[in-house]
A and B are shown apart, each in its own frame.
Chain A
């Protein structure tokens, strides 16, 4: 668990050290993609706690989710339904919260899984 937290912190640190910023026109894309990525990660954590983790499934799911999220925003932008990105937000947000809830429950069940 601590390793994962450290990994997250490392990612944030790298981001802060380098002067990266998402360019303004890509903000909606990046927003939904970040949400999808977080959801995938939470799903992975849950899967690992449930011991149903398959790294191939995880990695594939991670990238497909993020690409799907970006695609939803893109389609919405093109067909004129700019609010389509909300669908992505809702979907991934709901999933993320679900995963989070399951993770919480599993952690409390297992307590000292490592």
Chain B
């Protein structure tokens, strides 16, 4: 009987110890759980926080990169705009040149025309071309041979000053380098003798020439002072002057 109860007691004791241990473990377990949960929760909170921080950092980095690209694009756009402007100004400069060149063409034509006219005038003056047109005839009657070479030169100059384009004396063309000379009472034009009482033929504006010669103090009045000299001016409708005879 004692053995049975002792065994029963032992079993009971063992069982209760087991149960106690189990409940201890259970408590430990739960306590363990609490601590576990707490630390896990703390760690997870930290992890979540880090996660957001990292995400934001990457976002700002990507944004910074995009910004840089935008800046690059802006720089590129700026460069292209500058290039564009440079090309535009180049284009307008070239256009201007083309326009001026066209202009030049016209003005070149004008210049050519002017040059041609000048050449003609020069040739006329030089006596290289025969000339015809209205003008005046200046006859210097000089039976006494009063007039000298200087007077003829004066007459020529007066005619030229009055706008004579071509002058001939006694049918001989006078050129720019022509000169009057005198020897032994004979008047010479370019070393060729002239008849006494030379006759000047001048092509130009007849009225102008006449007026200039008939001016008070002009050629006619000056010549009238010379004894025996009779100067007459006649307006001619058409004079034909030969070109200078080339020797």
* Interface of A toward B, CB cutoff 8 Å: 3-4, 6-16, 19-24, 26-27, 30-31, 33-34, 37-38, 40-41, 44-45, 48, 51, 53, 55, 58-59, 62
Contact of A37 among B39, B46, B58, B64 (CB under 8 A): B46
Residue B36 at the chain A interface, CB threshold 8 Å: yes
Interface of B is mostly: helix
Beyond A20-B56, A22-B56, A26-B57, is A15–B40 a contact (Cβ under 8 Å)?
no
- The contact string, 1 if C-beta is below 8 Å from chain A, for chain B 50-87, is 11111011111100100000000000000000000000
Contact of B57 among A4, A9, A22 (CB under 8 A): A22
Residue B102 at the chain A interface, CB threshold 8 Å: no
Q: Which residues of B contact A12 (CB under 8 A)?
A: 48-49, 51-52
* Interface of B toward A, CB cutoff 8 Å: 29, 32-33, 35-54, 56-61, 64
The answer to whether B47 touches A38, judged by C-beta atoms less than 8 angstroms apart, is yes
Q: Which 10 A-B pairs have the closest CB atoms?
A: A11-B48, A15-B52, A22-B57, A7-B41, A21-B56, A11-B45, A12-B48, A7-B44, A37-B47, A8-B44
The answer to whether B49 touches A24, judged by C-beta atoms less than 8 angstroms apart, is no
The answer to whether A22 touches B53, judged by C-beta atoms less than 8 angstroms apart, is yes
Considering the complex, give the chain A residue whose CB is closest to the CB of B57.
Answer: A22
The answer to whether B36 touches A11, judged by C-beta atoms less than 8 angstroms apart, is no
The answer to whether A14 touches B48, judged by C-beta atoms less than 8 angstroms apart, is yes
Q: Which residues of B contact A48 (CB under 8 A)?
A: 33, 36-37, 40
The answer to whether A53 touches B41, judged by C-beta atoms less than 8 angstroms apart, is no
Q: Which residues of B contact A31 (CB under 8 A)?
A: 54
Q: Which residues of B contact A34 (CB under 8 A)?
A: 47, 50-51, 54
